[in-house]
Structure 1
Amino acid sequence: MVAGMLNDGPLKDGDTRDLIKRTALVLFARDGLEGVSIRDIVRAAGQKNTGSVHYYFASKEALARELAGEIAQIIDTHRHRRIDAMEAAGGPRAVRDVLDILIRLPHEEPGDLGFDTDMAAFVDMMMAKHPDLIFEGIHVELGLATRRCLAHLRHMLPALPSPLMEQRFRFAILYAFSILSSRRSVGQRPDLWPPRWTEEVARQNLLDTLEGLLRQPASPETMAALAPAPKRPSRKR
């Protein structure tokens, strides 16, 4: 499979590192982190030294973090391009225009940035099984394109106290990640999922629910919980 990428001649250091990384991506996407050993990666990459993963990446987890970070850069570039096009056309015209940018991966648009199905499967697997690593690698709160999207949303959504709005944004991102990562489970066990789960109607329905989550006014209970607790009067000595 991936081992076929090896050339007849000796590989340079950078080539070996990239080959191990690409091999790990394919294996992680298919079998998950727990289902892939360092020995599996070395064997599939056609390497003889079982210490090569530790030499180049220190650990399997560090390799996964690096993959997540590089994929995040591709996603961020893709989002910047879509935001630029939207703004050049006079948008955004609706909240869902911005939300669609946040939930759509590059491979869903033809020929975009070399983002392939293995990368998409890796992201799905990480979101479903290792959200801590994907958030660490992607830094979802720091991505410049994500910040541009959130800035548009702040101007378009009803006013909420800043702590609540920031929390809503995180809720929305976690919710969308959870729904989108379920695509992997649908492919493995379609009998366990409702019909039309992977069709366009599901994407549009997801956008509807995300917008509803963000537009919902804060309840009196939430506002009361947000208010600082009254200070106790100091005792006189």
Structure 2
Amino acid sequence: MADLPDTPADSEVDGKTKMILVAEALFAEGGINGVSMREIASKAGQGNHYAVQYHFGSREGLVEAIFDYRMDQMERMRERMLAAAEAKGRLDDARTLLDMVYLPQLELPDGDGHRSYAGFLSQYLMRSHSHRFGDFGGGGHPHLARVFELLRKRLSYLPEDVAQRRLVTASFMFLAILARYETFEDSAPNEESFEAALDDTIEQIVSCVCAPLRLTTGG
């Protein structure tokens, strides 16, 4: 197995947070069902092999804890983005709202954190049986909830299940470009930059999510 992404020094995080960060990285690489709780505890420096079960109860409890940890970090940026959008009268603008959904992932701390989270979220979305976008964590993230509320209002012409499916599909588009971040680091001067690729990807997402619904019937 490849080396884990960098995480904060042990002195900077408690044991529970260390397990969250290690689990996120291992889940991103090996799949949420492909990593044992014992391995997570060991990689996180826990002498007790049952430390994960003690702190989180189960694999699903650990997954929820990862989301809560990351959503709490992104809430601060979403709060600032919502305030800026409201001041500019852009709370009904689809690009502005979708930026609030996706761009905070770029600001996640701990070195390689945003790429580790991107891989983890990809694994979660492929594994999840939920058709709803945003069924992440245990709740308690009011700024994300407000973004979803505003986005749903913006997409009011779409049936609920269609809007939800489009947002899930769009997430894979964003995560694909985020996961390829490192491939842009050695780009030649005349090649597309990550910033340009990211901007174009989000424009694609806006077009796909906001497209009018066209239902076809068999002839």
Give the partner amino acid of 1:125. Answer: G
Match of 1:173 among 167, 177, 193: 167
Match of 1:122 among 116, 123, 136: 116
CA drift of 1:117 comes to: 4.5
Match of 1:203 among 198, 201, 204: 198
Change (3 A) 1:213 1:176: closer
Match of 1:5 among 10, 19, 26: 10
Q: Percent identity?
A: 22
What CA distance in whole angstroms lies between the structure 1 residues aligned with 2:153 and 2:40?
Answer: 47
Residues 143-198 of structure 1: per-residue CA shift (max 9 Å, x gap): 533443355446656x62xxx343343133212211122246536889xxxxx787
Give the partner amino acid of 2:82. Answer: I
Aligned counterpart, 1:58: 57
Aligned counterpart, 1:144: 142
CA drift of 1:125 comes to: 1.7
CA drift of 1:99 comes to: 2.1
- Does the CA contact (< 8 Å) of 2:74 and 2:104 recur in 1? yes
- Does the CA contact (< 8 Å) of 2:170 and 2:209 recur in 1? no
Q: Secondary structure of the residue that 1:171 maps to in structure 2?
A: helix
What CA distance in whole angstroms lies between the structure 1 residues aligned with 2:80 and 2:31?
Answer: 31
CA drift of 1:104 comes to: 0.8
Change (3 A) 1:165 1:59: same
Aligned counterpart, 1:235: none
Change (3 A) 1:214 1:4: closer
Aligned length: 202
Unmatched tracts of structure 2, length 5 or more: 1-5, 185-190
Unmatched tracts of structure 1, length 5 or more: 8-13, 109-113, 191-195, 223-237
- Does the CA contact (< 8 Å) of 1:176 and 1:206 recur in 2? no
Give the partner amino acid of 2:86. Answer: E
Give the partner amino acid of 1:46. Answer: G
Residues 201-236 of structure 1: per-residue CA shift (max 9 Å, x gap): 3333333333333443333658xxxxxxxxxxxxxx
Change (3 A) 1:36 1:214: closer
Q: Secondary structure of the residue that 2:207 maps to in structure 1?
A: helix
What CA distance in whole angstroms lies between the structure 2 residues aligned with 1:104 and 1:3?
Answer: 22
Greater shift in the superposed pair: 84-93 or 131-140? 131-140
Q: CA RMSD in A?
A: 4.0
Change (3 A) 1:129 1:70: same
Give the partner amino acid of 2:88. Answer: A
What CA distance in whole angstroms lies between the structure 2 residues aligned with 1:98 and 1:3?
Answer: 31
Change (3 A) 1:203 1:4: closer
Instruction: Tell me the TM-score normalised to structure 1 length.
Output: 0.64
Change (3 A) 1:66 1:198: farther
Change (3 A) 1:153 1:31: closer
- 2:90 matches 1:95: no
Give the partner amino acid of 1:16. Answer: G
